């Protein structure tokens, strides 16, 4: 986060302008009220306020790295008390030394200077608190703006994803091929055709009606994935095999709807389509109070002509997860021999305090 004083020329002008104003008030009090000579009034004002002006700039770094949401409030207070003490000692010590050297022959002023230190410590403490509050206001304002931008980006992404779901998740080729399979089954196996129509209807209903702004249960998502795979299995037959090894605790986990669908479509597209051998798609899921770990594995033929992909599906899932969970590295992929792996880590939204995932 950029230092608020040096964001732009206006911020610089405002900060130093305020200190010039304070210097003017300081000078006026000493010259008109205390009747000190103009050179003493000017020097006293310039020395004390210019040094504290510099301290005020460094105070930003204490506020920036001692925010209450990052550390214990007690540690924050201790940090500020320590820096305030150091600042007051340096401020009064340096100012007193400079002014006592400049006006060493003026005994009245030196006596006044020494006696005024308690009042200066009090005024310095007030300046410190006001500056710290101003910096914290700026920090929270910037964080609030970032949150608004992040939520705005999330809404835009969700709208885009919702459109993409209508365009790609209900894949026209998948729908066309499914209807062709049903057409053939009406002649060879009417009962199987009826069963497939019901599954396709349930799949489409879930896909269209899912509110992408909300979470659904893992069990609902898996039920729809199984419908999708069973429909595809009618077309591919024994060439497509799939299995699920799911921890019972995963069933009620809350996950974003239609999150897994693109991953299984990729497995079909890059595994089953291109392979001449039997392709196995497996999914493992384990969970605890902190998070749920999902692993999807599919075989593929490394010698087959691979279908070109843009990687847009995986990138959209990564971005969607980052905005939903405010964490990175939740989706990873790897290739081992003729097997492609996808690893998903989904935090438990009901207990976000248990673990922080980077």
> pLDDT by residue (tens digit) across 173-228?
678 878 888 888 888 888 888 888 998 898 888 877 766 557 899 999 999 999 98
**2: phi then psi, degrees, rounded to nearest 5:** -70, 145
Picking from 255, 171, 243, the residue whose alpha carbon sits closest to that of residue 215 is 255
Q: Are 340 and 310 in contact (CB under 8 A)?
A: no
Cβ burial 192-212 (10 Å sphere, 16+ → b, else e): ebeebeebbeebeebbeebeb
Model pLDDT, residue 166: 47
Query: Tokens 């992909």 — which residue?
Result: 309
Half-sphere exposure of 170 (CA within 13 A, CB side): 17
Half-sphere exposure of 150 (CA within 13 A, CB side): 15
Can you list the domains of the chain with their CATH numbers?
Answer: 4-149 (no CATH), 170-347 (3.30.565.10)
235 vs 231: CA distance, rounded Å: 7
Q: Are 344 and 294 in contact (CB under 8 A)?
A: yes
pLDDT beneath 70, residues of the chain: 69-71, 159-173, 210-213, 304-312, 351-358
Half-sphere exposure of 131 (CA within 13 A, CB side): 26
**Cβ-Cβ contacts under 8 Å for 162 (sequence gap 6 or more):** 212
* Rg value, the chain, Cα: 34
Picking from 24, 51, 48, the residue whose alpha carbon sits closest to that of residue 113 is 48
Model pLDDT, residue 89: 96
217 vs 194: CA distance, rounded Å: 28
Query: Tokens 């925010």 — which residue?
Result: 67
Picking from 131, 169, 153, the residue whose alpha carbon sits closest to that of residue 53 is 131
Q: Which residues pair with 107 in a beta bridge?
A: none
271 vs 300: CA distance, rounded Å: 4
Q: Of how many residues is the chain composed? A: 358
What is the DSSP pairing of strand 254-255 with strand 216-217? antiparallel
Model pLDDT, residue 256: 87
Picking from 166, 272, 271, 147, the residue whose alpha carbon sits closest to that of residue 212 is 166
Helix (H) or strand (E) holding 33: none
Q: Are 327 and 347 in contact (CB under 8 A)?
A: yes
Model pLDDT, residue 215: 86
Q: What angle do CA 186, 190, 196 make, to 5 degrees?
A: 85
230 vs 242: CA distance, rounded Å: 9
216 vs 255: CA distance, rounded Å: 6
pTM: 0.54
Three-class secondary structure of residue 303 per DSSP: coil
């Amino acid at each position: 986060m950029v230092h608020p004083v040096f964001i732009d020329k206006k911020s610089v002008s405002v900060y130093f302008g305020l200190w010039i104003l304070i210097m003017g008030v300081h000078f006026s009090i000493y010259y008109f009220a205390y009747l000190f000579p103009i050179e003493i009034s000017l020097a006293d004002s310039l020395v004390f306020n210019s040094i504290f002006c510099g301290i005020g700039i460094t105070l930003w770094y204490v506020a920036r790295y001692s925010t209450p949401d990052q550390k214990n409030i007690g540690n924050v207070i201790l940090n500020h008390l320590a820096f305030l003490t150091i600042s007051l000692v340096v401020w009064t010590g340096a100012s007193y030394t400079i002014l006592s050297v400049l006006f060493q022959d003026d005994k009245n002023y030196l006596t006044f200077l020494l006696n005024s230190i308690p009042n200066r410590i009090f005024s310095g403490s007030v300046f410190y608190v006001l500056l710290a509050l101003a910096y914290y206001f700026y920090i929270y304002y910037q964080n609030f703006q970032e949150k608004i931008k992040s939520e705005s980006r999330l809404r835009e992404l969700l709208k885009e994803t919702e459109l993409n779901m209508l365009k790609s998740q209900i894949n026209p080729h998948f729908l066309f091929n499914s209807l062709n399979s049903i057409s053939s089954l009406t002649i060879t196996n009417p009962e199987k055709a009826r069963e497939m129509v019901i599954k396709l209807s349930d799949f489409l209903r879930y896909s269209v009606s899912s509110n992408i702004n909300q979470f659904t249960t893992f069990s609902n998502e898996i039920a729809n994935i199984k419908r999708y795979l069973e429909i595809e299995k009618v077309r591919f037959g024994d060439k497509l095999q799939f299995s699920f090894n799911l921890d019972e605790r995963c069933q009620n986990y809350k996950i974003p709807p239609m999150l897994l669908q693109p991953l299984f479509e990729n497995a079909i597209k890059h595994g089953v389509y291109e392979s001449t051998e039997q392709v196995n798609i497996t999914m493992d899921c384990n969970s605890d109070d902190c998070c749920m770990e999902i692993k999807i594995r599919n075989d593929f033929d490394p010698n087959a002509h691979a279908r070109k992909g843009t990687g847009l599906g995986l990138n959209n899932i990564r971005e969607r997860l980052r905005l939903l969970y405010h964490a990175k590295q939740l989706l990873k992929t790897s290739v081992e021999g003729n097997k492609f792996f996808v690893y998903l880590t989904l935090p438990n939204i009901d207990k976000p305090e248990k673990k922080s995932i980077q």
